[in-house]
Amino acid sequence: MSSPTHHWIKRLAEIRKPAYLAIPDLIEEDLATGRLRPRDRLPGLRDLADELALNYTTVARAYAEAKKRGLLDSRAGSGTFVRGRTATLPLSGGSSIEMTMNTPPEPADYAARLRESAARLMADSDPYQLLRYQDFGGSLADRVAGAEWLKRRLPEVTSDTVLVCPGIHSALVALVSQLARPGAMICLDTLAYPGIKAIAAQLGVRLQALARDDEGPLAHAFEALCKTDKPSAFYCNPTLQNPSTLTLTHKRREALADVALRYNVPIIEDDAYAMLPQQTPDALASFAPELTYYVTGLSKSFGAGLRVAYLRAPTPRQTQRLAGALRATTVMASPFTVALATQWVVDGTALDMLNAIRGEARARQTIATRVLGEWTYDAHPDGFHLWLPIAGEGGWSASELALQLRNQGIAAVASAAFSTDGNPPNALRICLGGSKNRDECEEALRIIADTLEHPHHLHSAIM
């Protein structure tokens, strides 16, 4: 099938809610992962009903719900199109405020430090060398710098088990392709980074959500799955989880690693935010080093444009196998950004900038505490996003709230984009790093607080 919605057939079988409500969630999920883009055309009602083996009325209700959420437009004689983000109303500053992408906040001297580092790099490097093919997985100097950075979490790491990759996402593509064949299954939390959902869908790999409690995925649920349908890998985002901000406890990490060891299940430890907290429980790779593929990067610590990730594999041989998979999909990381990353690690700039970004994150979290203090939400002082449950008394959903906020110039992400079990909690992820400064961040949070305080405004806007 060539339809952009053919993968919904499997997803609808997994989702525990009526199809007319599940389909709008899938549209929102596909927008978040990039599978659907604004202005993409969707099948007509009868075509989609036939494709999904649903009745016409169900699909009509689904499209009506998606239109109510601001996700679709219909034009007589032309069809139904993905709308994507609703056109925003300008704020006092004349622009919308980005709170969807989880990017680090930028300290006041960030631009100056970046210019200084780039100028020094260009002065000390052969510029032609930066335009040529490099050793795949990084030069020895790059891998040594990567190992040095990883030692903050993995004291025993050595450079022969480290690969330098063009971002965590590319490392995850290589890992999933190596560990799970099409049709195989990877287990994970009920909430996860949308990118792993997109990667699994692209590679034909099933994702199986594990039951969880307030401390994360349950070890006994992991073990029960291993007994009945051995997973190809266990994927985990254990520190400041995107989106819930949860950090797994030492005890929970140890219990999950113990199950993986007893059933020989590889662990993909996506520790994108690991360097932000000043104190963090030991990595899963410390409990199960022979099974764990540990990956962290610089984009969630310093900025999305610094797409450099460090991947630690269990053995040098497995490192080389992964190098082949990465070479096939990405060729190499950008020599300039890798050289900049290596320079920052070696000369101490990385630690200085990390402390500055932590300070800015704390300042914005303090603003959030002051402005949103009346509402319960999850956050970490050194992180830069919030997980905001939406009270159900007013009868409106996170998707509806996200739509209302977009109409007011605030871009946030509803929980459906992160759900792996088809039953998302009623919550929003709000990112504090996209605002250009603290004043803009506070303005956006006040608009969110006002919307939460006066839900009748939301009802009148979406009726």
- Cβ pair 417, 32 in contact under 8 A: yes
SS3 455: helix
Q: Inform me whether the pLDDT recorded for 449 exceeds 70.
A: yes
Q: Inform me whether the pLDDT recorded for 1 exceeds 70.
A: no
Quick one: pLDDT at residue 304?
A: 86
- Cβ pair 239, 274 in contact under 8 A: yes
Q: Inform me whether the pLDDT recorded for 400 exceeds 50.
A: yes
How far CA 321 is from CA of 47, 135, 326, 459, in Å, comes to: 44, 15, 9, 54
Residue 362's domain spans which residues?
A: 97-108+351-462
Domain co-membership, 267 together with 342: yes
What stretch of H or E contains 341?
helix 335-347
| Maximum distance among all Cα pairs of the chain, rounded to whole angstroms | 67
Mean pLDDT for the chain?
88
Domain co-membership, 319 together with 363: no
Average confidence (pLDDT) over 58-85: 80
Q: What is the DSSP letter of 384?
A: S
More confident residue, 158 or 202: 158
Q: In the Cβ-directed half-sphere of 388, how many Cα atoms lie within 13 Å?
A: 27
Q: What percent of the chain has pLDDT over 90?
A: 54
Q: Letter for the amino acid at 13? A: A
Asked, for residue 187, whether it belongs to a domain, the answer is yes
Domain co-membership, 308 together with 265: yes
Average confidence (pLDDT) over 395-411: 80
Q: What is the pLDDT of residues 90-138, one digit of tens each?
A: 433 434 677 888 889 988 888 888 888 889 888 888 887 888 877 778 8
Q: How many domains does the chain have?
A: 3
* Residue where a domain terminates, one of 315, 347, 379: 347
Average confidence (pLDDT) over 297-326: 92
Q: What is the pLDDT of residues 149-187, one digit of tens each?
A: 999 999 999 999 999 999 999 999 999 999 999 999 999
Rounded Cα distance between 290 and 424, Å, is 34
For residue 191 the two structure tokens come to 């909430």
Question: Lowest-pLDDT range, 97-111, 261-275, 437-451?
Answer: 97-111
Rounded Cα distance between 271 and 150, Å, is 11
Q: Find tokens 């930028």 and name the residue.
A: 106
Instruction: Output the domain CATH number for residue 282.
Output: 3.40.640.10
Q: What is the pLDDT of residues 368-379, one digit of tens each?
A: 999 998 899 999
- pTM for this one? 0.81
Domain co-membership, 139 together with 60: no
Domain co-membership, 286 together with 386: no
How far CA 366 is from CA of 371, 380, 381, 413, in Å, comes to: 9, 11, 8, 21
Q: Give the burial class of 160: count Cβ atoms within 10 A of its Cβ; 0-12 exposed, 13-18 middle, 19 or more buried.
A: middle
Quick one: pLDDT at residue 64?
A: 87
